[in-house]
Amino acid sequence: MRKLSIEELNRLSTGEFKKAEKNPVYVVLDNIRSLNNIGSVFRTCDAFRIRKIFLCGITAVPPHKDIHKTALGATESVDWEYADDTLTVVQKLHEAGIRILSVEQADRSTMLQDITIEPGSGIALVFGHEVRGVDQAVIDASDDCIEIPQFGTKHSFNVSVSAGIVLWEVTKKMGF
């Protein structure tokens, strides 16, 4: 086995990425406070060719050196938009026919492995504040909550880790 060189990976250029077909997934960041988490989510969204990221509330926006440090240029490839209010974004996406899935531990959440995703259907994944999680009003406006199974003593994953886990599973289920 031999490690591949950067050239052998055949990655898209930023221009090619912009023109390429996107996975019909929107990521909504609900008041994320860590700039490093924001950058990591951008990088993960680039890897899964996500359609767009919505940065809401206190979530910082590019350009910022701490976002850039973990995004490694993904703020240039992935489309994004800032909005003051997460609930307004979720309502607009829902009105456009996008299924809203909040990633949160809730009384009737669906375990990630059990979620049904129609290939090609538009979905929005809402990831919440590192301490408070997704705002209850946003959960109330969601079609479902997704919960990531956990087996240790901790009650949550880091938000950027959650994004990676959920985007991988959703991308597999969409057949993208």
Q: Is residue 81 within a helix (H) or strand (E), and if so which, with residue range? A: strand 80-83
Full-prediction pTM beyond 0.95?
A: yes
- pLDDT score at 155: 92
Go through the domains of the chain in sequence order and give each one's CATH number.
Answer: 17-174 (3.40.1280.10)
- pLDDT score at 121: 94
- pLDDT score at 176: 85
Q: Shortest CA distance to 52 belongs to which of 81, 17, 30? A: 81
Residues 76 and 108: their CA atoms lie apart, in Å, by 37
CA of 153: how far to CAs of 102, 114, 160, 165, in Å?
23, 23, 19, 19
- pLDDT score at 95: 98
Query: Average pLDDT for consecutive 10-residue bins of the chain (176 residues)?
Result: 95 96 98 98 98 98 98 98 98 98 97 94 97 97 98 96 98 92
Q: Shortest CA distance to 126 belongs to which of 40, 54, 50, 42? A: 54
